[in-house]
Amino acid sequence: MATKQNTKRRARAGSIKEQLERIETDPAHHLTGPFQAQTPFGTPDGTPPRSPTVHKPEEEGFWSDVKTLRWIVRPSSSFKIIASVVALYINWEIITPRVAPGLPNPFAPLIFISYPIDSSSSGDPRYGKGYLDLVFILSYVVFFSFVRQIFTLHVFRPFARWYGIKRSKLDRFGEQGYAVVYWGTMSVWGYLIMEQLPTYWYNTKAFWIGYPHWEMKPQLKLYYLMQASFWAQQLFVLLLRLEKPRKDYYELVCHHFVTIWLIGWSYLVNLSLIGNAVFLSMDFPDTILAFSKLTNYMQREVIKSIAFAGLIVAWTYFRVYLSLNIIWSVWSEFDLIPVESMQWAPERGVWLVWWMRYHILIPMLLLQLLNLFWYYLILKILIRTLLMGGLDDDRSDSEDDDLQKKK
């Protein structure tokens, strides 16, 4: 009897350990980094399950993926959709001028941003906003579905296998690898855009002076819509349950809705300058966080320690100091908005009546409370590291996972 009880205890302990090792970091909490894996249906490492069932030909293939929306997690199908759109655009450009000169290409809004404003005299092109922006966003949901799966499944996961990463961590390694690529790219892009704006380097007064900033530089508009496409793609995967739902499924859905709402609202009311600053303050620390996770999985002790130190510095400066500066600007510099623009007149592109100060301030404060909570978790890891004399490898499955899971 005692032997059976010990066996049961060991089984229970093993199952708990397995559950802990399967804790996934959440990619998408706030405007932040590492994300939940988007693997094809099958086993945890993304390989198709073996089944004696023989599928009918009509149940598989491209059209089945289109009808069931599985193209979101199948890169071959999402690539075919992208290729079809590009082919239709090129054919229109070649054939239509010979048949009906001057007829606009209806496929252009799927590939390029719309609503250029005539600025040929100044040599400084600008763009407005409109409903075709939604078409662009939906089109690039397909693009991000393809790119993400390619990097996660066909770049970082094979590298992890070659390097000798444990099978149970292949999914997370792929997630963090793509996180480095995405957030690193958006960080550099966001910086290059800010260089062209009066808000460089976090010149917060420029958020309000000259409002409304409804004429957007093409790079800024493209950057904003690409961010929106990424978050929309994340939300579609959750809502359509194309992956196995996590325990915090409903919290993730709410978070994604809020994130897309913040992006869309700031775009609509012409607060894209402050939006760019917020994006940059969030994206760069997430790049360092994801890179730190990669080095931890790879057991590169020296690089891991340097990356973690860099994470503390980046989080302190970007997520705490600069974010607090933005909040202070909302509170103290809001009145720099021209008097004639401090009214609710959407037809003129102005939305910032006096009470909009609080409509902006409250979400920013809530976001900062989360930043400070995550900062507390990072410092907690640092204190434990100093007491133990080195970074504990368990951090990717315990407190470090908790840090990202709570995001």
pLDDT score of 234: 83
Asked if pLDDT for residue 241 goes beyond 90, the answer is no
CA–CA separation, 184 vs 394, rounded Å? 25
pLDDT tens digits, 248-277? 677 677 777 878 888 999 999 999 999 999
Asked if pLDDT for residue 385 goes beyond 90, the answer is no
Mean pLDDT along residues 142-161: 94
pLDDT tens digits, 303-327? 999 999 999 999 999 999 999 999 9
pLDDT band, residue 121 (cuts 50/70/90): low
pLDDT score of 55: 42
